[in-house]
Chain A
Amino acid sequence: MLHLLKIEWLKVKNYKAFWIFSILYSFAILGINYTGYYVNELSLQSLPQSQLLLGTPYAFPKVWQTVGWMSSWLLYFPGILFIMLLINEFNFKTHRQNVIDGWTRKEFVSVKFVFAILFSVVATFFNFLVALLFGSLTTGSSFSFQGIENIGYIFIQTVAYITFAMFLGVLFRRSGAAIAVFFLFGLIFEFLITLLINVKMNLVPVGYFLPLQVTDVMLPIPFGNKVIYKDSPDVWILVIASLVYICGYYFFAMKKFTTEDL
Chain B
Amino acid sequence: MSILTIENLSKSYGRIQALKNVSFSVPEGSVFGILGPNGSGKTTMLGTIMDILKPTSGSYRLFDELPTHLHRQRIGTLLETPNFYHYLSGVKNLEIAAEIKQHGKEDIPRVLEMVDLTRRKDSKFSTYSLGMKQRLAIASCLLGNPKVLVFDEPTNGLDPVGIAEIRDLMKELYREGKTIIMASHLLDEVEKVCTHVAILRRGELVASGNVNEILSNEDMVEVGAQNSEKLMALLQNMNNQVRVAKEGGMVKVFFPVGTANLEFINKYCYDNGIILNHLLLKKKSLESRFFELTNN
Contact = CB atoms under 8 A, between A and B. Distances in A.
Interface of A: 3, 6-7, 10-11, 14-17, 88, 92-94, 96-105, 107, 259-262
> Which 4 residue pairs of A and B lie closest in terms of their CB atoms, listed nearest first?
A102-B73, A97-B83, A93-B83, A101-B100
B247 interface: no
Q: Which of B69, B84, B89 has the most chain A CB atoms closer than 10 A to its own CB? A: B69
Contacts of A11: 85, 88, 96
A183 B132 CA distance: 39
9 contacts: A6-B99, A10-B92, A10-B99, A92-B85, A96-B52, A96-B79, A97-B84, A98-B100, A102-B100
Given A10-B92, A11-B96, A100-B72, A94 B84 contact: yes
B52 A102 contact: no
Given A101-B77, A262-B52, A92 B84 contact: yes
A15 B87 contact: yes
Given A10-B95, A14-B87, A93-B83, A101 B101 contact: yes
A212 to B, nearest CB: 30
A16 B85 CA distance: 13
Interface in B68-103: 68-70, 72-73, 77, 79, 81, 83-89, 92, 95-97, 99-102
Nearest to A6: B99
Contacts of B50: 99-100
A101 B85 contact: no
Contacts of A14: 87-89, 92
Nearest to A98: B100
Contacts of A16: 87
Contacts of A262: 52-53
Given A97-B83, A102-B101, A261 B53 contact: yes
Contacts, number: 78
Contacts of B69: 99, 102-104, 107
B279 to A, nearest CB: 55
A91 to B, nearest CB: 8
B86 A100 contact: no
Contacts of A6: 99
A185 B100 CA distance: 37
Contact of B72 (A88, A92, A101): A101
B54 interface: yes
A98 B54 CA distance: 16
A7 B100 contact: yes
A88 B52 contact: no
B51 interface: yes
B89 to A, nearest CB: 8
A261 B100 contact: no
Given A3-B99, A10-B96, A96-B83, 4 more contacts: A7-B96, A7-B99, A92-B85, A100-B51
Q: Which of B95, B99, B100 has the most chain A CB atoms closer than 10 A to its own CB? A: B100
Nearest to B102: A102
A67 B83 CA distance: 42
A225 to B, nearest CB: 43
A93 B72 CA distance: 17
Nearest to B68: A104
Nearest to A10: B96
Contacts of A10: 92, 95-96, 99
A100 B52 contact: yes
Contacts of A17: 87
Nearest to B70: A102
A17 to B, nearest CB: 8
B231 to A, nearest CB: 57
B84 A261 contact: no
Nearest to A101: B100
Nearest to B92: A14
A104 B51 CA distance: 9
A240 to B, nearest CB: 35
A93 B86 CA distance: 11
A100 B77 contact: yes
Nearest to B126: A92
Interface string B35-74: 0000000000001001111100000000000001110110
A3 B84 CA distance: 20
Contacts of B89: 14
